[in-house]
Amino acid sequence: MITTEQIKELRDQTGVSVMQCKKALEEAGGNMETALMILKKKSTEIAAKKSDREATNGVVAVEKSGSKAVMLTLRCETDFVAKNSDFTDLAALLAKKALAGGAIDAENDINPVIQKVGENIKLGDIITVEGATIGSYVHGGRSGVVVALTGGTEDLAKDIAMHIAAMHPEYRTKTDIPADTRAAVTELCSKEVADLDKPAEIKQKILDGKIDTYFKERTLVDQAFIKNPDLTVGALLAKAGATLESYSVASVA
C-alpha cells in the first residue's frame, strides 16, 4: 500500500502533482527509485508531445560574475507560466549553468518543469558578454540589456543598460551607421527641403540639421541620457572616464 509519507517524499523531490506521484509509486510497487525513473520518463514523453506548441511568452535571465555575464531567454506558452516560480527559477538556474560553462541538459533540467507547469518550454539565445566593468538591466522580466565598459562603475554600466532598454538605440556610434541607410535618409530629407523657398546654402543647413537630428535620436552615444537629459550618453561616459566596449540586447516580446 502506498502511504501518504511516500507520496509526500516523492513530491518534495520532484515537485509534480500528488496524483502523478501516487500513480508513479503504484506503478513502481512503492519503490522510490523506480518511481523517480518513471516520472523522469514521463516528463520526457510530455515534453516531446508539447514540443510543437508555440512558445511566445517567457523571461530574460541574467547572471554575472566578475568580468563576465550571461543573458538568456527562456520561452513558454502563456504569461501565467512566465510568472510561475518554477519557470523563473529554471531560467535563473540555466543562466547560472551557462555562466559556469556547464552544459544545459534538457532532459534533466527543462523536461521536469514542462511536466510540472504543463506547457512547452523552449530555450532561446544564450549571450555571453565579457568586459572590465559589466552592468545589466532586465525590464519586466521580458527584455534585458548587458553593457560592458572599460573604466567606470557597475552602477554606470547598469544605468546605460537601463537607458538602452528604454530608448532602443539602433547604432552605438555614428561610425556604425551603414552607408546605404545614411543615403536613404539623406534622400528622404532632401525631398522634404526641396520645395522650400530658401537660398541653396540655407536649404543645405536645414538638410544637414534634419539628417543630424534623425541619427542623433537613434545613436546611443548621441542620445540624451534618460536620467539627465542635459547630458548625452557619450558625455556621461566621458565624464566618468569610461569607454563603451559593447552591449547586448535580448527580448521575449
Under 8 Å between Cβ of 91 and 123: no
CATH (residue range 57-172+221-251): 3.30.479.20
φ/ψ (deg, to 5) at 227:
-85, -15
Residue 56 gets which letter from DSSP?
-
Q: What is the pLDDT of residue 37?
A: 76
> For the chain, which residues make up each domain, given as ranges?
4-50, 57-172+221-251, 178-218
Q: What is the mean pLDDT of residues 117-123?
A: 92
pLDDT at residue 177 in the model? 92
Question: Average pLDDT of the chain?
Answer: 89
Could you read off the pLDDT of 57-107 as tens digits, one per residue? Answer: 999 999 999 999 999 999 999 999 999 999 999 999 999 999 999 888 888
Buried b (16+ CB within 10 A) or exposed e, 44-66: bebbeebeeeebebbbbbbbbee
Cα 169 to Cα 161: distance, rounded to the nearest angstrom: 11
Per-residue pLDDT tens over the stretch 5-23: 877 887 777 777 778 878 8
Q: Name the 3-class secondary structure at 78.
A: coil
Residue 179 predicted with pLDDT over 90: yes
CATH number corresponding to 4-50: 1.10.8.10
Phi/psi for 143 (5° steps) reads -145, 145
Taking only the tens place, the pLDDT of each residue in 197-250 is 888 888 888 888 888 898 999 999 999 999 999 999 999 999 999 999 999 999
